[in-house]
Chains A and B, each alone.
Chain A
Amino acid sequence: MSFKVRIIPCLDVKDGRVVKGVQFVDLIDAGDPVEAARAYDAAGADELTFLDITASSDDRRTMFDVVTRTAEACFMPLTVGGGVRTVEDIRALLVSGADKVSINTAAVNDRAFVGRAADKFGNQCIVVAIDAKRVSAAGEAERWEIFTHGGRKPTGIDAVAYAREVVALGAGEILLTSMDRDGTKSGFDLMLTRAVADAVPVPVIASGGVGTLDHFVDGVARGGATGVLAASVFHFGTFTIGEVKRHMQAAGLPIRMDGIAG
């Protein structure tokens, strides 16, 4: 297969700084998102995601500047999410140099926003981020619900049905995070990933829970994801992009090895 699986490091950015310091040996300033982006670019990442967790909307201009400077230095796809609420927010990020914008809570609160955004900018640049938690008890049919506010607030919305709905409205990609697995290093929620990937015709990116090299393989081979996203295992240097790619390739998955020593 000439079409490749995407490996996507995600950087949490607050007030223009990377939250979990990126532990690369040769970074001068590990807290600078542009430096971190350059390092991932050089390391062979297939795409980058910035998640803006800045609390105050007054400080969001800082993110536009980060995106602008990243787009000047890195000629690779860039997705930006966090606090995206209006068509104007999306326009400002795209003009700054983002290729895709990810919408989370604003889509939960107002589904029609996804449709407006896709009509305005095209489905290809609208990602809907879904934070889901398993709500079925043991022995019941599997069911996941959307949670907002960092996984604290239940919404009663079924995750798989919601994914179908936002894709019908124009989402071009789903970024799917298991709130049960996020930060646990116990692997993606593969049943959740598979349920959503089978339900929608657009690419699904699996997120939340990667701890081993095999977890990356499972997200694609068993979960049906077309890309895998991880944060801490890359930032803390547990694995390099090259290690992950070599492992996935050895497992028989189609991987882009441009710039990575075999």
Chain B
Amino acid sequence: MSVAIVDYGSGNLHSAQKACERMARERGLNVPVLVTADPDSVRRADRIVLPGVGAFADCKAGLAGVPGMIEALTEAVRGRGRPFLGICVGMQLMAGRGLEKDTTAGLGWVPGDIDLIRPADPALKIPHMGWNTLNVTRDHPVLAGIPTGPDGLHAYFVHSYHLTATADDVVLAEADYGARVTAMIARDTMVGTQFHPEKSQTLGLALIGNFLEWRP
């Protein structure tokens, strides 16, 4: 078994890799964690992590700029159902379109748009930057054993855009930021977190451990 973290010039790959390695160790899994820009390595991996920070269009262009990468991801995740974790803009890329700056097509793996967060309270700052709790809509193996809800653990968010206009069964968790902010999505063998599990201490590490053990 192996985990591929997709390197397309975006994101804090180092933290994601170290968090996966640490949780593989803690869960007693013998899983090499590979940071790779090679589509064939992504195709061969048993699990795939797609990080991403920055603007949607830049990340999409970066991913499209690696020859064969989008095809390899689509084949592995949509074709062969490899467990997939998208983080922050890596999650946003799963959507149909991004509306940040110009309209940009996403991977289209889940319906919906990536649109600006619009808190009802104008005193709330954008970006949504900091720690928030998760309101979970249903059970999911990657959340097993993690306390959620208003009294649960916190996740670390840094973003101004989020998934909207999607199907109800796609949203796995929301955060309250003067508006309902999409915090996690899940469909088939895919999960996505708008927050950074690799920066979310206890909650994030537990989630990554669960993802490594997830057998959808």
Question: A residues within 8 Å of B by Cβ?
Answer: 1-6, 41, 46, 68, 71-72, 75-77, 94-100, 121-125, 172-173, 201-204, 226-227, 256, 258-259
Question: In the complex the two chains form, is B130's CB within 8 Å of A227's CB?
Answer: yes
Chain B residues within 8 Å of A4, by CB: 130-132, 154
Known contacts: A3-B176, A99-B158, A259-B202. The answer to whether A202 contacts B127 by CB under 8 A is yes
Q: A68-B14, A75-B204, A75-B205 are in contact. Are A226 and B130 (CB under 8 A)?
A: yes
Q: Which chain B residues border A100 with CB–CB below 8 Å?
A: 158
Instruction: State whether the Cβ of B54 lies closer than 8 Å to any Cβ in chain A.
Output: yes
B interface: dominant SS: mixed
Check A3 against B198 for contact (C-beta < 8 Å). Answer: no
B189 within 8 A of A: no
Taking a contact as CB atoms under 8 Å apart, the answer to whether A2 and B132 are in contact is: yes
Structural contact, B15 and A6, CB atoms closer than 8 A: no
| A76-B156, A99-B199, A259-B202 known; A125-B53 Cβ under 8 A | yes
Could you tell me if B131 and A256 are in contact, using CB atoms closer than 8 angstroms?
Answer: yes
Chain B: interface residue count, which band? 35 or more
> B199 and A172: CB pair below 8 A?
no
Closest to A70 in B: B15
Asked whether any CB of chain A lies closer than 8 Å to the CB of B200, the reply is yes
Flag whether B66 is at the interface (Cβ < 8 A): no
Shortest A129–chain B CB gap in Å is: 16
List chain B residues, Cβ under 8 A from A172: 127, 129, 158
CB distance from A27 to the nearest CB of B (A): 20
Q: CA separation between A8 and B203, bound complex, in Å?
A: 19
* A75 with B158: CB separation less than 8 A: no
CB distance from B122 to the nearest CB of A (A): 9
Kindly list chain B residues whose C-beta atoms are within 8 Å of the C-beta of A96: 14
Asked whether B160 is an interface residue with its Cβ less than 8 Å from the other chain, the reply is: yes
| Inter-subunit contact A72/B130 (CB<8 Å) | no
Which residues from chain B contact A71 at a C-beta distance below 8 Å?
12, 14-15, 18
